[in-house]
């Protein structure tokens, strides 16, 4: 006997993501979900961009997602901003942050005193793309050392994002990377995806990222 | 790795549906459907499902069937529908990038097959 069910497998996550959106909307907070491969420079980018936002009076907090260790959270400590650490599992563990871990992480913050919250997702181009975190915007960081082919290999990631940041451009002179081919591959997968090129360590291109964030702030 | 979370969700949904049906139930088959863009590895999903199902007597004989939905887009300019078979998201008719996803990015439990009670 066949019984029709037709239930969305990610419905429970989507419902929690909706709760997160209600909560951030109530405080006019912009929630940005940063995703990338491991080692693309997400934490370095946060280290450099948060002080620039602070100078503009943007009150920022970060939710750090790592499978294990609090190293990233410790790196952000000198910025003197609220940081909530999520460890999915001490050894191994989950490959993405679902809405069910973002919601309690938000409770660590006094939302009435924030304008912007970054989620630094687990480094992975596959799984995080699948799970709605409740963020207003998804941002993917792709470093120039990763090769031109990544958008074609992980199309869902580049389709769910509203901005692609090409990072570590200071390394381009040392690499055989064809930057135009990388950009054309991004355009193949998502023709409407804006692209920013930057080098966080050389502080190049950060103003454009700050502008993009600024334009999307809710207050 | 997302297959583990998805297998957990499949089992949760099926279990939830079974509770609505009175009597003794043994599930023979669970039919799951994922979009091609979801990049589900069927073998990995089944592997996780087969481990998790052992905790549920109603499910421990169930076979998971995984079907794939093609990626279909509709052009907002010329209304043409195109199946996307390679990572190039443009309308094949007019080349526009202004597309609406029709299918290929959704995952759901489609149906379950129960053993007839006279077979029990």
Asked if B112 lies within 8 A of A3 by C-beta distance, the reply is yes
Q: List, for residues A30-61, the tens digit of each pLDDT value.
A: 999 999 999 999 999 999 999 999 999 999 99
On whether any CB of chain A is under 8 Å from the CB of B37, the answer is: yes
SS3 per-residue string spanning chain A: CEEEEEEECCHHHHHHHHHHHHHHHHCCCEEEEEEECCCCCHHHHHHHHHHHHHHCCCCEEEEEEECCCCHHHHHHHHHCCCEEEEECCCCCCCCCCCHHHHHHHHCCCCHHHCCEEEEECCCCCCHHHHCCCCCCEEEEEEEHHHCCCHHHHCHHHHHHCCEEEEECHHHHHHCCCCHHHHHHHHHHHCCCCCEEECECCCCECHHHHHHHHHHHCCC
Domains of chain A: residue spans and CATH: 2-216 (3.40.50.300)
Asked if B32 lies within 8 A of A124 by C-beta distance, the reply is no
**pLDDT value at B118 more than 60:** no
- Output the pLDDT for position A65: 85
What is the CA angle B89-B86-A9, rounded to 5?
A: 80
Average pLDDT in the A61-83 region? 85
CA closest to A149 among chain B residues: B87
Chain B hits for A12, CB-CB cut-off 8 Å, are: 9, 12
**pLDDT value at A68 more than 90:** no
On whether any CB of chain A is under 8 Å from the CB of B12, the answer is: yes
- Output the pLDDT for position B1: 65
Chain A hits for B13, CB-CB cut-off 8 Å, are: 5, 7, 9
| Burial of residue A190, with CB atoms counted within 10 A of its CB: 0-12 exposed, 13-18 middle, 19 or more buried | buried
Asked if B1 lies within 8 A of A190 by C-beta distance, the reply is no
Average pLDDT in the A110-127 region? 95
CA closest to A94 among chain B residues: B1
Asked if A9 lies within 8 A of B108 by C-beta distance, the reply is yes
How far apart are the C-alpha atoms of B43 and B2, rounded to whole Å? 13
**Using CB atoms, which residue from B1, B90, B109 is nearest to A9?**
B109
How far apart are the C-alpha atoms of A161 and A157, rounded to whole Å? 7
Average pLDDT in the A195-199 region? 98
Asked if B112 lies within 8 A of A188 by C-beta distance, the reply is no
CA closest to B18 among chain A residues: A3
**Using CB atoms, which residue from A3, A8, A130 is nearest to B2?**
A130
Q: Decide: B104 and B9 in contact? Cβ < 8 Å.
A: no
ipTM: 0.82
On whether any CB of chain A is under 8 Å from the CB of B107, the answer is: yes
The shortest C-alpha distance from B43 to chain A (Å) reads: 16
CA separation (Å) from A163 to A144, A146, A166, A191, A216? 16, 17, 10, 12, 12
Q: Decide: A114 and A27 in contact? Cβ < 8 Å.
A: yes
**Using CB atoms, which residue from B88, B105, B116 is nearest to A188?**
B88
Q: List, for residues B46-98, the tens digit of each pLDDT value.
A: 999 999 999 999 999 999 999 999 999 999 999 999 999 998 999 999 999 99
The one-character DSSP state at B55 is G
Size of interface A-B (CB pairs under 8 A): 93
Residue A90 pLDDT level (bands cut at 50, 70, 90): low
**Residues 6+ positions from B80 with CB-CB distance below 8 Å:** B74, B91, B92, B93, B94
Residue A36: both structure tokens together: 């990338």
The end-to-end CA distance of chain A, in Å, is 55
Chain A hits for B109, CB-CB cut-off 8 Å, are: 5-7, 9
Q: Decide: A199 and A162 in contact? Cβ < 8 Å.
A: no
B39 half-sphere exposure, CB direction, 13 A CA radius: 16
Asked if B13 lies within 8 A of A10 by C-beta distance, the reply is no
How far apart are the C-alpha atoms of B2 and A156, rounded to whole Å? 13
């Amino acid at each position: 006997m066949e019984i029709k069910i037709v239930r969305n497998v990610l419905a429970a996550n989507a419902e929690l993501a909706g709760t997160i959106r209600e909560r951030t909307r109530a405080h006019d907070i912009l929630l940005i979900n940063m995703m990338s491969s491991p080692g693309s420079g997400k934490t370095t980018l946060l280290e450099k961009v948060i002080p620039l936002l602070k100078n503009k009076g943007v009150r920022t907090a970060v939710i750090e997602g790592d499978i294990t260790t609090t190293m990233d959270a410790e790196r952000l400590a000198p910025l003197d901003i609220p940081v909530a650490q999520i460890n999915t599992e001490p050894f191994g563990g989950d490959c993405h942050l679902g809405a069910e871990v973002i919601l309690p992480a938000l409770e660590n913050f006094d939302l009435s005193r924030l304008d912007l919250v970054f989620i630094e997702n687990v480094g992975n181009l596959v799984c995080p793309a699948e799970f709605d975190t409740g963020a207003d915007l998804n941002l993917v960081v792709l470093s120039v050392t990763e090769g031109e082919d990544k958008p074609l290999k992980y199309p869902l990631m580049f389709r769910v994002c509203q901005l692609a940041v090409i990072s570590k451009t200071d390394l381009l002179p040392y690499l055989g990377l064809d930057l135009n081919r990388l950009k054309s591959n991004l355009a193949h997968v998502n023709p409407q995806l804006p692209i920013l090129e930057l080098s966080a360590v050389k502080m190049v291109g950060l103003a454009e990222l700050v502008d993009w964030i600024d334009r999307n702030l809710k207050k | 790795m997302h297959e583990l979370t998805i297998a957990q969700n499949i089992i949760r949904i099926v279990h939830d549906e079974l509770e609505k049906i009175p009597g003794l139930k043994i599930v023979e088959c669970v039919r799951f459907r994922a979009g091609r863009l979801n990049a589900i590895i069927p073998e990995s999903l089944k592997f996780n499902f087969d481990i998790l199902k052992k905790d549920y007597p109603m499910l421990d004989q169930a076979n998971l069937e995984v079907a794939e939905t093609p990626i279909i887009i509709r052009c907002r300019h010329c209304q043409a529908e195109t199946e996307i078979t390679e990572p190039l998201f443009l309308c094949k008719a007019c080349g526009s990038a202004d597309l609406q996803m029709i299918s290929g990015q959704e995952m759901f439990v489609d149906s379950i097959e129960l053993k007839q009670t006279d077979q029990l």
